[in-house]
Amino acid sequence: MKFMGSRKEGKDFKNIQMNESLDSLPEILLNPELNKNIAILKSAYKDCSDVVFREFCIGNSVDAVLLYIDGLSDTGEIDQHVLMPLIKMKSDDCRSIFEKTKNEISVSDLKEIYSITDVFKQISMGNPIILIEKQTKGISIGLPKWEKRSIMEPDAESVVRGPREGFIETLRVNTSFLRRKIRHPLLKMKQMNIGRYTETQVIVAYIEGVADSTLVQEVTDRLSRIKIDGILESGYIEEMIIDYPYSPFAQVLTTERPDVAAASLLEGRVVILIDGTPITLIAPCTFATLLQAPEDYYNQFYISTFIRWLRYVFFFIALLAPSAYVAILTFHQEMLPTALLLTIADSRENIPFPALVEAFFMEITFEALREAGVRLPKQVGAAVSIVGALVIGQAATAAGLVSSPMVMVVAITGVASFLMPRYATGISIRILRFPIMILSGMLGLLGVMIGITSIVAHLCTLKSFGVPYFNSAAPLKIHNLKDVLFRAPWWAMDTRPDFFSQDSSYLRRESSNQKPDPKKGGDGS
């Protein structure tokens, strides 16, 4: 309920239950009596030791109060550019005291506010507030300042070739990264606040005319429908906006790299930046993008194509290697060469467990060691995971719990999973590996095929913000395959993906399909 046009006293404000977001609170307009405004604000910020009320006189004649949160505002700038000039200001000017106060403050970002709710919003963002006697509006001063992490290379996305900078927890620093890379005014950034208590700032970034307007509207609508007490990390938002929350596959991309986010914007995707986290969300997501790495576009196209095919092969190895081993060893021994079969049989002579139990034991142990390496401090995490795997594998083999071929299969599977460029892709493989192993232990290769068919059928039904997961391959369009099965050279990738971009114009130049001339160098121009 809004109280538009009416003034509510402090006693009414005390009765308000502040269990909704600031936007849904009754609008209590600022009172011309300064003491009543101060009483309302002190009542709201009772037991808040970090909220500072600095009462002073403007030009030794007009009472005023400066309100800010210690630790969020730049106190040095406040003293120099706000308090000092206002206290020394002369009052022999015919202009109104409000306008003269604004002119005396030597800060570029000044806003007028009209309600108590505006005060709450502004000081929570680090902007000090000045309220003046006999004035029904206040002044918000753009002087936020808080500690922030230095810019460094993302740990979760190692860089071989490319920019070595990553997003940080400060939203405006992250938006500046995108502005530095895409300098066109058509790069739009819509802001909204999500969370009843945290009022977390969220930015929806897109390039107008490149991103489909329907996609932008859908992303904005889903974000606006989120009702939650607080947003502390991008995972909160990701779980609430995806189409199929029970699917193990990622339906939005996550990245800490500004170059990845900028490239996605140029393709026509929408980027969601969240204050307080370096993890940025990118929508929509297709299956092909999960197997693409940023370095694919920085190396020569034939090198990137080879590595991409290697990644595809090891994707299936990571998903199916233990299951295929269990199925062949349990039901289809005739598929193995005799010499290899005898070697495996000799190594399993004293193993008391069937191949399925053996595979489960090793896979669960390997996953536990991997998680232990992640949770431990960096100095010892890698050593514990690697040494632990070697020691446990050797000890289990010597104790007769597992066979040597099984240790080798699990090791190859683990190495294959490390080739996945996206962490979410590796998680999906690790989850799906176990049900496929159960099917292979029960039905052999038939169970493996049932598992593969079920996964493919599930992927064909998935959509990310209305875009089918396999849209890059079906319906089949040759120009959409230039960046799927292989990475075409830059002079050949002259159109954007048309399944989530309303502008499929050329990426590099407007009217040239000319291939580069090796003799001239460059792009042939």
Q: What is the pLDDT of residues 66-118, one digit of tens each?
A: 999 998 999 889 999 999 989 888 765 545 888 888 888 888 889 999 999 89
Which residues lie closer than 8 Å to 151 by C-beta, 6 or more apart?
A: 165, 166, 168, 173
Query: Based on the domain organization, do 451 and 325 belong to the same domain?
Result: yes
pLDDT in tens, 436-462: 999 999 999 999 999 999 999 999 889
Instruction: Give the predicted TM-score (pTM) of the model.
Output: 0.83
Q: Is residue 399 part of a domain?
A: yes
pLDDT in tens, 389-416: 667 777 777 777 888 888 888 888 888 8
Query: Based on the domain organization, do 463 and 327 belong to the same domain?
Result: yes
Contact call for residues 295 and 266 (beta carbons, < 8 A): no
Q: Is residue 150 part of a domain?
A: no
Query: Based on the domain organization, do 100 and 42 belong to the same domain?
Result: yes
Q: Is residue 307 part of a domain?
A: no
Q: Is residue 155 part of a domain?
A: no
Task: Report the DSSP pairing between strands 187-194 and 200-207.
Answer: antiparallel
Query: Based on the domain organization, do 130 and 182 belong to the same domain?
Result: no
Query: Based on the domain organization, do 323 and 464 belong to the same domain?
Result: yes
Query: Based on the domain organization, do 119 and 212 belong to the same domain?
Result: no
* Residue after which a domain boundary falls, among 241, 270, 285: 285
CA–CA dist 355, 348 (Å, integer): 9
Closest by CA to 105, choosing from 137, 126, 77, 72, is 77
Query: Based on the domain organization, do 321 and 452 belong to the same domain?
Result: yes
Give the chain's domain count.
3
Q: Is residue 178 part of a domain?
A: yes
CA–CA dist 277, 200 (Å, integer): 11
**Residue 1: what pLDDT?**
32
**Residue 472: what pLDDT?**
72
Query: Based on the domain organization, do 318 and 423 belong to the same domain?
Result: yes
Tokens, residue 202: 């969220």
- Which sign, positive or negative, has the C-alpha torsion 213, 219, 224, 225? positive
For 64, 446, 451, 473, the CA distances from 456, given in Å and listed in that order, are 67, 15, 9, 13
Query: How is residue 444 annotated by DSSP?
Result: T
Which residues lie closer than 8 Å to 131 by C-beta, 6 or more apart?
A: 30, 34, 37, 38, 64, 65, 67, 119, 138
pLDDT in tens, 183-192: 999 999 999 9
pLDDT under 70: residue ranges of the chain: 1-26, 91-95, 377-390, 475, 479, 497-525
Query: Based on the domain organization, do 447 and 317 belong to the same domain?
Result: yes
Burial of 262: CB neighbours in 10 Å, binned 0-12, 13-18, 19+: buried
**Residue 8: what pLDDT?**
45
**Residue 93: what pLDDT?**
53
**Residue 434: what pLDDT?**
92
Full DSSP string of 181-225 = H---TTEEEEEEEE-TTT-EEEEEEEEBTTB-HHHHHHHHHHHHT
CA–CA dist 302, 103 (Å, integer): 62
Query: Based on the domain organization, do 278 and 326 belong to the same domain?
Result: no
Q: Is residue 433 part of a domain?
A: yes
**Residue 220: what pLDDT?**
94
CA–CA dist 388, 267 (Å, integer): 43
Full DSSP string of 241-291 = H-S-TT-SS-SSEEES-HHHHHHHHHHT-EEEEETT-S-EEEE---TGGGG
Query: Based on the domain organization, do 92 and 216 belong to the same domain?
Result: no
Query: Based on the domain organization, do 113 and 14 belong to the same domain?
Result: yes
**Residue 389: what pLDDT?**
67
Q: Is residue 350 part of a domain?
A: yes
Q: Is residue 82 part of a domain?
A: yes
Max Cα-Cα span within the chain:
105
Q: For residue 128, what are the domain limits?
A: 10-141
